[in-house]
Structure 1
Amino acid sequence: MQRSFAQNSSEERLNRIDERLRNLAVMVPGLNQKVQLSMSGASAQEFLRALAQANNLNINIDPGLSFKVFTNFRNETAMNVLLFVAKEYDLDINMIGSIMSVSKAPAIKKEPIPSDIRVSYNSGNDYLGFELNNDTLLLVAKKISQLSQKNVVVPVNLLSKK
């Protein structure tokens, strides 16, 4: 099964959070304590604050988090609840000492896939053929230069023209 870049990055983020929480659990026993928590329409801040108070955790919550929580957790560790919430609501959890800082996960920047510039060059008869589709003059000129081994100069004011 092929995974997208976003899926891999999300999994990597969750694996990092899991590792951080496991390391912190050595110093903060509340992460391994069972949670009994039920929320219906609570704000993210209310939910995380209730979890922190119930399990004696130090949690800093980004005030920009603006989702509602509808959950019921019984006999689950605080660590697993935090991992679940991080996955479900696309959150990141960073640690400083025993303080956990919960914020929205940074947006994943996808690298743009460069389009294939369809240019052909026949050195025998110096023939240049091309099929262009919304390509910038700069990229077309580079491709022509690569294929023909000839310099193609594009005026600066035309570099972004299509």
Structure 2
Amino acid sequence: MNAITDFEVKAADGGPASLDTWRGKVLLIVNTASKCGFTPQYEGLEDLHRDLGPRGFEVLAFPCNQFGGQEPGDAAEIANFCSLTYDVTFPVFAKIDVNGPAADPLFERLKADAPGLLGSKAIKWNFTKFLIDREGQVVRRYAPTTKPEDIVKDIEALL
């Protein structure tokens, strides 16, 4: 099975970005939105990124507008919001779909490797999180209600 780090995605500017850049790191991949009740989780995600980053951890954010239209902005607006409101320093990629016929292949793989409750594949809302080990394999899926600080022990076990 190929590693998650074998995928190519779109950078915020729309150009290609290889996840190979993060090969060998523990990753938390999250679909995000700027106008969601869970948006304050950006703060916790940034704390994880800063605290655990030196040990080989990275947060990768993928904005998505599929849930209640809660990510209406373009790439510049999203970047500005993340930077000014939450001082985000982890990568925020281009806005994508995570469900449906136009779902990004990365998220198709994440959903297949770590189904939700009762085996459901669909992502139910913004801030669904996927933990990836150093070999690029999906370890676990977390619900939007799972706070970043509640994942620390799982991340540290992989570091």
TM-score for both structures, normalised by structure 2: 0.20
User: Taking CA–CA contacts closer than 8 Å with sequence separation of 6 or more, which of the two structures ends up with the larger relative contact order?
Assistant: 2
